Amino acid sequence: MDPIIYFVIMEDDTKTHELLFHYFKEFPNFECKGCFTSAGETRDFLLQNPVHLLVADIQLPDMNGMEMIKSLPNKPLVIFMTGHNSKKTATKSYAFDAVHYLTKPFSFGDFKEAMQRTIDRINGKPKIDNSLGEHVMFGTGAIKERVLLSEIRYVEVKGNQVTIYLANEHQVSFRQTLKEVADMLPKTYFLRVHQSYIISLWQLRKLSPTFVTFFGTDAVVPVSRSYRAELRARFQNDPSAAPAVDE
């Protein structure tokens, strides 16, 4: 028997409530613990009643849904919903390590995919095929570069010039800050390791106290002392996924 997955809905539109409950009937191991129309009510409930999953609208009357989630000390898995088909908003949702992003009106097929992603995450399966299949449009102004997240090895900044080094040996350069780029990347698989570098944990081959290397290249990226503990900690919960470590 499948374990029960407890969820909460945060949505101010009653028609969306009805649609969600109709879809959830097809997934009997999901159990609703609360349905709220404001971010404040949802936050108060979640502080006292932890759940596995939050199905959340982004635009709510009292607070932005993302801002509410950011304020939670212990965050559940999140599926975001919005009526605005904005790539910028979708990119922000992945920066929250969201399970999925649904644009209203969404079909049962879209919802079913979100449920499968939730089950996979709870069962500890990597979400590489889902999250790293996404792309991001980098750059400012009229000219932007479309980059597949799965292709990124590492990101380097010199001044305001950012260069993304890809697994196909290509490079993409544009003017932007490293912080702005970091905010656009899903934190599950990307980590800042130096004031000038962000790396892909998925592409990481060798981990050393002072540098890292990547599959398929001789490139070496330095690791600053202040980032070493966090880099090591990302692999402690799943030793089988960790790269080779040089002491």
Domains held by the chain: number? 2
User: Are 93 and 144 within one domain?
Assistant: no
Indicate whether this model's pTM tops 0.75: no
- Vertex 136 angle, CA 139 and 213, to 5°: 90
User: Are 21 and 117 within one domain?
Assistant: yes
Calpha distance 242→14 (Å, rounded): 45
User: Are 163 and 103 within one domain?
Assistant: no
3-state secondary structure of 4: coil
User: Are 211 and 231 within one domain?
Assistant: yes
Find, among 89, 76, 87, the residue nearest to 10 by Cα: 76
Tokens of 107: 């079909």
User: Are 24 and 62 within one domain?
Assistant: yes
In a domain, 132, yes or no: no
Beta partners for residue 156, in sequence order: 163, 197
Domain boundary residue, one of 103, 125, 147: 125
User: Are 219 and 157 within one domain?
Assistant: yes
Q: What is the pLDDT of residues 7-22, one digit of tens each?
A: 999 999 989 999 999 9
pLDDT score, position 124: 66
> In the chain, what percentage of residues exceed pLDDT 70?
83
Q: What is the pLDDT of residues 33-85, one digit of tens each?
A: 999 999 999 999 999 998 999 999 988 888 888 889 888 888 899 999 887 54
Report in angstroms the alpha-carbon separations of 103 from 39, 90, 164, 218, 231. Answer: 19, 9, 29, 41, 34
Calpha distance 154→164 (Å, rounded): 6
Calpha distance 56→217 (Å, rounded): 41
pLDDT at 241 over 70: no
Place of tokens 């060798």: 206
Calpha distance 90→84 (Å, rounded): 10
What does the mean pLDDT of the chain come to?
82
User: Are 35 and 99 within one domain?
Assistant: yes
pLDDT score, position 204: 84
CATH number of 202's domain: 2.40.50.1020
CATH number of 99's domain: 3.40.50.2300
Tokens of 108: 């049962």
User: Are 219 and 159 within one domain?
Assistant: yes
Report in angstroms the alpha-carbon separations of 173 from 32, 40, 161, 181. Answer: 46, 41, 7, 12
- Vertex 9 angle, CA 129 and 90, to 5°: 40
In a domain, 131, yes or no: no
Domain that holds residue 216: 137-245
In a domain, 130, yes or no: no
In a domain, 68, yes or no: yes
Q: What is the pLDDT of residues 91-133, one digit of tens each?
A: 454 455 688 888 888 889 889 989 988 988 887 654 544 445 5
Tokens of 13: 């539109």
User: Are 24 and 96 within one domain?
Assistant: yes
In a domain, 22, yes or no: yes
Whether 150 and 133 have beta carbons less than 8 Å apart is answered as: yes
Tokens of 154: 């590492």
pLDDT score, position 235: 63
User: Are 152 and 206 within one domain?
Assistant: yes
Whether 188 and 179 have beta carbons less than 8 Å apart is answered as: no
3-state secondary structure of 246: coil
Sign of CA dihedral 225, 186, 78, 116: negative
Average pLDDT over residues 126-151: 69
3-state secondary structure of 99: coil
User: Are 98 and 147 within one domain?
Assistant: no
User: Are 116 and 155 within one domain?
Assistant: no
